[in-house]
Every structure is written in structure tokens, then in C-alpha cells.
């Protein structure tokens, strides 16, 4: 499997690197490969354990991009990170994609982890690629597709429904030859969930530990945090993504205390400092 994730008392930090023109928070900032690699170097210095490289925005209402376009965005960045980062042997690279051919090309260039929206829901061949390269797979939950996922999502029981989804995707992977211990799970905050459902996931996250798999979670800068801040502080305007750090860290505290093993974030340095104390205290 090559480099491996090691879990213990310390919560790992996954830094977000979106090489897209339209991601909700940092769209366009790192579309230039040189700027993307520069940000990767910065995140390593800030203490990132994993760099998560994505070439397609999955924000609400987004449109998918072609396989060729996604490869064109992510592969040069991953290749350059592997070639130039002096600390590359100490950081893992995940490819944030559900498309088997994108993932294959990223793994060929040195990515270590697959971070897949919907697991194998949108491309079952992805399981074959993960088996071929023998890498960990993060399954993150979504209800619907990004373009329509926020149109009144309904669950019978949000946690039980999500756990059922995980079991189904893991079953597909195992049928293709993957080992159960290769999987990590992410409940997909904001991916087909209302504010109320997001908060319920945060509060009940410990129930997902019954799967006995590592839990990844990303709440960083998400829109529900802006809406909650606006409501609670009676603000005239919705706080922008970059104005949601404190709210992001508040939710981070709850999910870590409830069992999260990896925190996916845009704000690596601040999250790393925050977790240094939280991990010491928990």
C-alpha cells in the first residue's frame, strides 16, 4: 500500500487544494499549477498530514467536468508536488474524484489515497482501480447529485441512512477485492443535507464509530455555518466563506470529541493549532 495512514491520539489534518475555477470558497485561487504547488508547500509547513487535490467543484448547483479536463487540472499539480516538495515523504496526497480514470492517472503520479464522492455510486470501475493500486478509499456520502442535492433532501433517519449507504458501498468494494480495512468514511456534511440534518450528524457522529472504520469529516467554511452565524448574531449579511473560521473550529471540536480521525480543512494552520490543544485535552 506504500505510505499508510496511522491513527492514534492525534487527529490528522487534510488540507484542501482545489484546482478549480468555481469551488465555493477558493475557486480560481489555485487553478495555476504553480500557485497550487505553492499552496501545497505552504500547507506542509503549516502541518498538513494529507493534501487533498480536487479538480471538479462539487458545490451545490455545480456541473460536472469532463474526465480529460479533470485530469488536465489535477495530474500536473500532483506530479509537481511529488517532484518538488522537500517534505513530500512526510505528507500523503489524496485525489478527490469519483471518476476511475482520473483516479488512475493521479495514482500513477504518486497520489496515495482515493477520496470519492459517493464511493462507487457514480463509477464502479473506481473499485477496480483502488484494488489495482492497493490504496485507502474514503467514501463520502451524498444524497442525489451536486447540481440538485440541496433540493429538499429527505431521510428516514439521517445517521442510519448514511451508515446503510456506507455498508452498501463497502460491500461493492469488497466484492471487487478490496479489504474492509482499506475504507474510511465521511458523512458528507452539506452534500444533500439541510442545516438541521448537518447539525444532527455533528451531534450524533459517535454512532458512526460502530462501523469500526476511521471517520473523515469536513465542515470547513460550509454554507450552513454562515447561515447559522447570520441567524445567531442577527447579521445583515451572510458571512463569506473566509469569515467562518471560528464557526468551523466550533464544529470541529464537537466532531473530534465524537470520534472523527481526520479533519478536512481550508485553514490548515489554524486547525492544526486548535487540534494540538484539543487532542491534548480529550
Tell me, what's the pLDDT at 78?
A: 94
DSSP 215: B
Residue 238, SS3? coil
pLDDT tens track for 176-215: 999 999 999 999 999 989 999 999 999 999 999 999 999 9
> What angle is formed at CA 110 by the lines to CA 106 and CA 113, rounded to 5 degrees?
70
Tell me, what's the pLDDT at 1?
A: 43
Residue 95: which H helix or E strand, with range? strand 92-96
> What angle is formed at CA 258 by the lines to CA 273 and CA 227, rounded to 5 degrees?
75
Task: Give the ranges where the chain is alpha helix by DSSP (H).
Answer: 33-46, 67-84, 100-108, 125-133, 158-175, 195-203, 223-233, 245-257, 268-281
Catalytic positions: 222, 264
Tell me, what's the pLDDT at 32?
A: 82
> What angle is formed at CA 212 by the lines to CA 211 and CA 217, rounded to 5 degrees?
80
Tell me, what's the pLDDT at 146?
A: 61
Secondary-structure class of domain 12-281 per CATH: alpha beta
List per-block mean pLDDT (blocks of 10 residues) for the chain, which spans 282 residues.
74 94 56 86 94 85 83 93 72 95 96 96 96 97 69 87 97 97 96 94 97 97 95 96 96 98 97 97 90
Q: CA end-to-end span of the chain, whole Å?
A: 31
Tell me, what's the pLDDT at 140?
A: 93
- Distance, in Å, from the CA atom of 124 to the CA atom of 139, rounded to the nearest integer, reads 13
Instruction: Give residue limits of the domains in the chain.
Output: 12-281
**Burial profile 122-146: b = 16 or more Cβ within 10 angstroms, e = fewer:** bbeebbbbbbebebbbbbbbbbebb
Residue 138: which H helix or E strand, with range? strand 137-140
pLDDT tens track for 100-122: 999 999 999 999 999 999 999 99
- Distance, in Å, from the CA atom of 170 to the CA atom of 176, rounded to the nearest integer, reads 10
Q: What is the CA radius of gyration of the chain?
A: 17
Amino acid at each position: 500500500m506504500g505510505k499508510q495512514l496511522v491513527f492514534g491520539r492525534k487527529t490528522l489534518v487534510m488540507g484542501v487544494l482545489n484546482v478549480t475555477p468555481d469551488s465555493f470558497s477558493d475557486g480560481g485561487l489555485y487553478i495555476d499549477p504553480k500557485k497550487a504547488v505553492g499552496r501545497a508547500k505552504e500547507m506542509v509547513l503549516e502541518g498538513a498530514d494529507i493534501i487533498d487535490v480536487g479538480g471538479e467543484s462539487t458545490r451545490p448547483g455545480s456541473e460536472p467536468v469532463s474526465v480529460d479536463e479533470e485530469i488536465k487540472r489535477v495530474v500536473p499539480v500532483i506530479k509537481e508536488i511529488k517532484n518538488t516538495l522537500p517534505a513530500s515523504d512526510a505528507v500523503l496526497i489524496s485525489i478527490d474524484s469519483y471518476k476511475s480514470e482520473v483516479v488512475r492517472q493521479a495514482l500513477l503520479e504518486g497520489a496515495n489515497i482515493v477520496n470519492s464522492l459517493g464511493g462507487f455510486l457514480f463509477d464502479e470501475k473506481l473499485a477496480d482501480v483502488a484494488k489495482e493500486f492497493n490504496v485507502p478509499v474514503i467514501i463520502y456520502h451524498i444524497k442525489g447529485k451536486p447540481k440538485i442535492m440541496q433540493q429538499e433532501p429527505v431521510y428516514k433517519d439521517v445517521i442510519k441512512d448514511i451508515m446503510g449507504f456506507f455498508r452498501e458501498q463497502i460491500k461493492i468494494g469488497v466484492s471487487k477485492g478490496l479489504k474492509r480495512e482499506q475504507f474510511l468514511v465521511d458523512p458528507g456534511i452539506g452534500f444533500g443535507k439541510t442545516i438541521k440534518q448537518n447539525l444532527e450528524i455533528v451531534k450524533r457522529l459517535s454512532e458512526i464509530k460502530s462501523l469500526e472504520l476511521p471517520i473523515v469529516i469536513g465542515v470547513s467554511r460550509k454554507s450552513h455555518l454562515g447561515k447559522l452565524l447570520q441567524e445567531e448574531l442577527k447579521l445583515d449579511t451572510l458571512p463569506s466563506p473566509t469569515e467562518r473560521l471560528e464557526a468551523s473550529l466550533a464544529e470541529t471540536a464537537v466532531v473530534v470529541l465524537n470520534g472523527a480521525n481526520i479533519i478536512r480543512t481550508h485553514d490548515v494552520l489554524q486547525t492544526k493549532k486548535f487540534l494540538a490543544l484539543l487532542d491534548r485535552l480529550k
